[in-house]
Amino acid sequence: MKFRATLLLAATALGLAATAGAATPPENWEQHCAKCHGADGSGNTRLGTLLKIRDLTKTEVQASFTDAAARTAIKDGVKDSAGRFTMNPYGGKLAKEDRDSLVAFVRALKK
C-alpha cells in the first residue's frame, strides 16, 4: 500500500511539473511560427516574403481556411507542388491541445 501511495504521488508530481512547463499559445507562436508568419501574423518577414505567406490578419485570408485545415497544417506541415515542406510539421513537437490553442491564436490575429 505504501508503494502504491508513493507511486501515485510521484505520478501526480510529474503531471504537475509537465503542466507547469507548458508553453502558452503566444510563446508557441513566437517559438514555432513568428519566424515566417511574423509576430503579428502578417507574414511580413524575410522568410514570409520568400515563401509568399498569406497575411493571417486579413479577414478574407482567415475565411479561406477552416479550423480543421489549420490544425492539419500545424500537425502535418504544408508542402509545395514539388513536395518540399514550406511549413514544418509540428505534430511531434506540440501536443494536440497546443495545436488547438494555436488555431485559436491564429483566429485572434484577424483585424
Any domain includes 10? no
Q: What is the value of pTM for the model shown? A: 0.78
The rounded radius of gyration (Å) of the Cα atoms in the chain is 18
How many domains in the chain?
A: 1
| 94-97 own/partner pairs: CB under 8 Å, 24+ apart | 94/28, 94/32, 95/22
Give the whole-angstrom CA distance, residue 80 versus residue 7. Answer: 48
32-82 confidence digits (pLDDT tens): 999 999 999 999 999 999 999 999 999 999 999 999 999 999 999 999 999
Asked whether residue 20 carries a pLDDT value surpassing 80, the answer given is no
Any domain includes 86? yes
* Residue 1's pLDDT band (cuts 50, 70, 90): low
Please give the mean pLDDT across all residues of the chain: 86
User: CATH number for the domain including 93?
Assistant: 1.10.760.10
